[in-house]
């Protein structure tokens, strides 16, 4: 399985919502916790509430919400049996509570990691300036070209790493491959 670390448009919207001044973060986190905790039907109801805009979370368009529902929350396809809804809900509750435990709330940034685990997991890390959430996805993915955030893999060249450019002329070719974001 090919390993990738990247963002998609979902994560960019979530990162934007989980950033800002301490006052904005307190409000965003309060709203997000309330939205996640009061929904018996899981994240499905929370996502439905965010379609078209809400003061309780990032705005999601209807097509993106339907895709998220089918691909992530219904447990079909490559994520079947992974309990994504329950893990994601609890993982973000833990990340938010940690972000709020600082003297002033800190932002949360999320990255997807594919090809490194057979299970859907959320790893929560304290960073110097915020909380980093890594979502380990048991999916094949080549990254996202629709995302604004760009990411690259730097490693030994080979069939899995068709180089955008060779970055070091050493005994083994070290190459750089862009895996997310649009070309600039």
The predicted model scores a pTM of 0.80
Domain extent listing, the chain: 4-145, 150-184
- Contact (CB, 8 A) for 86 and 76: no
Q: Is the pLDDT of residue 154 over 70?
A: yes
What tens digit of pLDDT does each residue of 71-97 get? Answer: 777 766 777 778 888 888 899 999 999
What does the pLDDT average to over 53-59?
A: 60
């Amino acid at each position: 399985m090919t390993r990738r670390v990247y963002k998609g448009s979902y994560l960019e919207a979530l990162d934007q919502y989980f950033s800002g001044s301490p006052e904005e973060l307190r409000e965003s986190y309060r709203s997000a916790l309330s939205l996640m905790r009061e929904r018996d039907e899981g994240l499905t109801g929370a996502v439905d509430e965010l379609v078209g805009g809400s003061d309780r979370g990032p705005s999601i368009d209807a097509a993106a919400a339907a895709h998220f529902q089918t691909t992530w929350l219904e447990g079909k396809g490559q994520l079947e049996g992974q309990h994504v809804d329950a893990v994601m809900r609890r993982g973000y509750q833990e990340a938010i509570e940690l972000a709020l435990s600082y003297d002033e709330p800190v932002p949360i940034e999320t990255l997807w990691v594919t090809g490194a685990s057979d299970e859907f997991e959320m790893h929560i890390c304290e960073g110097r300036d915020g909380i980093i959430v890594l979502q380990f996805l048991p999916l094949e993915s080549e990254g996202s070209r629709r995302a604004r955030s760009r990411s690259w893999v730097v490693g030994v060249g080979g069939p899995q790493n068709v180089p955008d450019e060779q970055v070091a002329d050493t005994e083994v070719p070290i190459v750089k491959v862009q895996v997310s974001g649009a070309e600039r």
